[in-house]
Structure 1
């Protein structure tokens, strides 16, 4: 009996702590403080590597491209030109080129930063290489199919990560040029990927074709960061579109379905499990996928798309969980290394894309908590 009482007391204490930490008031100034700490730490450690690679990621690699997406959002908040200058210097040093593969979505990611820099500085050289490359892709579209490991299969978006990497670049290019051909191309390709990888029952995306029939401890395999890529990418696309357009309504429908599902499967601690439907098999926190979900949910509340009373507690709980994994010097821990499926994460391991996701989340949590 004493043992049972002790277990019940321990469980009650855990629930009280979890509810307390999730309900803690979040102040806008505190959001900015932790964002600055994380951004500054990442810039200082930019050329270090964390996923077992032998050398740092190339500045134009997708890993850094995802960092820049979040860093741009922070630069808009920071009231300090040094962040813009840091980003601009990367573009100048690399002559505003996308990375090495013509069609591969990962190598398009850095284009999101280039277009945001163009919006600030209005220098056309910043986007001309991206526009030229996308024109080539449009007029020489890949003839590959979406099935995994078929010839040139990744010349199209046949893995869900790609929906964060490339489509927002197309949407941004459409917005800054007013040339609808970029939106039209992106829209048709996005629909093809969604028809192929989106589970209509679970309202989540398989990472790629290999996972559609796979089961992990009896559950369907929906990778957290993979779906985080999609969810954040949807936000970055929707921000560029006319809310009255058919394209906006299409993306919004997917976004709402995913948001509802994410609300249902958030862990009691505020994270999302690395295998989204397999919480008990993946209890380790993971901050890259979870940060993207916080970003997307907070954005929806701020836009009046998601009901605040329903979704705000989840967004704030998620943010508090993410902040709890920032070290005193500003490193975001528990970022799953580069991969394609649920795996492991550690408190002392990070990655640049995790920082990008965290900064994206902070940009919307800041607004949600009253920041201007």
Structure 2
């Protein structure tokens, strides 16, 4: 009797989600409404910057990767907004931290904030904003890590041996190459990115393992490909390609991976518009998750905007995905259903959020806005 009741509740929930999905995908997307929801989410996040919304006991350090991912999206919103307060907010963070990267010299997570520094440098042309990043990256190039990619070997995370890293550090190297014209940054990026991809990329599935510890493991009979982990990669590819000449061999290398992932992502999007936390395990992870899904919306919309992906084929996935993400923004601007910090498929809740989820949402909005005619 109890089992029957639980099945009945699950069926009702599934029907409700499908009904919401039908309504959200039918809605047209208007550029001014994209701007409005982005502003609401950005303002809420700034007002709650030190909030504790997913179980951690103290606010993240301003230079932590969690906030670094927020800034990646926030600076895209700042470029769209009519109000300089967003640039000023980001600039204050840089100034208060003397434009330093976070504490670990080699660790990709602690490089993430460099993406925001370089974007502010592009706006203000102030060398002090990028000098510490250049100095640290020059040191890394002169003293490259010799660590193994194998999980749990000494200093293994001094190289990009987990897929999240491909969002955190590579775009900084690409941006340094673009603003300086010094090919040494691009050469280092290519060597390390290729080594990481050779290690983590499953050619059959066109997806990345989070790290070596998930290779060969199954979850309900499916390979384990973490949604946010692959979201980090997909958005990272996009942010790297933004800095490269589309005619270059380096760009074409990243484009090849990007297209394979895009094709796979189109095939495995859920009917509700999000992507399952275990990408191949929709049946076992029905809960929406907005950080990984927002990164996919971002990357797919970017591909259409750049003439890489066919709009007729990929446009409906972007529309459905964006409407699903907007459906999880509360009335006051909090993005819900952001999976807490982790490394694998898990759980998410409507009242739990995280700064990196906001960053992903703002990144997605910046490309959806352009896709639907925003200037």
TM-score range, shorter chain: over 0.9
- Of the candidates 66, 88, 91, which is equivalent to residue 88 of structure 1? 91
Contact conserved, 2:18 with 2:272, CA < 8 A, in 1?
no
Q: CA deviation at 1:54?
A: 1.5
1:158 aligns with 2:161: yes
Q: CA deviation at 1:20?
A: 3.6
Cα displacement string for residues 119-174 of structure 1 (whole angstroms, at most 9, x for unaligned residues): 00000000000000000000100010100000100000000000000000000000
Q: CA deviation at 1:53?
A: 1.6
Contact conserved, 2:41 with 2:334, CA < 8 A, in 1?
yes
Q: CA deviation at 1:91?
A: 0.2
Partner of 1:35: 38
d(CA) in 2 for partners of 1:269, 1:84: 35
d(CA) in 2 for partners of 1:143, 1:224: 29
2:247 counterpart SS class: coil
Partner of 1:101: 104
Q: What pairs up with 1:1-372 in 2 under 5 angstroms?
A: 18-372=21-375
Q: 1:115 to 1:327 in 2, by over 3 A?
A: same
Q: 1:195 to 1:331 in 2, by over 3 A?
A: same
Q: CA deviation at 1:50?
A: 2.2
Which shifted more, 43-52 or 317-326? 43-52
2:264 counterpart SS class: helix
d(CA) in 2 for partners of 1:249, 1:9: 47
Segments of structure 2 that go 5 or more residues without pairing to the other structure are 1-10
2:287 counterpart SS class: coil
d(CA) in 1 for partners of 2:62, 2:307: 36
TM-score by length of 2: 0.95
d(CA) in 2 for partners of 1:301, 1:187: 25
Q: 1:233 to 1:12 in 2, by over 3 A?
A: closer
Cα displacement string for residues 74-110 of structure 1 (whole angstroms, at most 9, x for unaligned residues): 0000011000000000000000000000000000000
Q: 1:107 to 1:15 in 2, by over 3 A?
A: closer
d(CA) in 1 for partners of 2:13, 2:125: 59
Contact conserved, 1:23 with 1:313, CA < 8 A, in 2?
no
Partner of 1:5: none
Superposition RMSD in Å: 1.6
Contact conserved, 1:68 with 1:356, CA < 8 A, in 2?
yes
Which shifted more, 210-219 or 19-28? 19-28
Segments of structure 1 that go 5 or more residues without pairing to the other structure are 1-7
Across the two proteins, how many residue pairs are aligned to each other? 366
2:199 counterpart SS class: helix
Q: 1:13 to 1:156 in 2, by over 3 A?
A: closer
Cα displacement string for residues 225-247 of structure 1 (whole angstroms, at most 9, x for unaligned residues): 00000000000000000011110
d(CA) in 1 for partners of 2:169, 2:18: 41
Q: CA deviation at 1:10?
A: 11
Cα displacement string for residues 328-351 of structure 1 (whole angstroms, at most 9, x for unaligned residues): 000000000000000000000000
d(CA) in 2 for partners of 1:140, 1:94: 25
Contact conserved, 2:298 with 2:364, CA < 8 A, in 1?
yes
d(CA) in 2 for partners of 1:10, 1:190: 42
1:279 counterpart SS class: coil
Q: CA deviation at 1:18?
A: 3.1
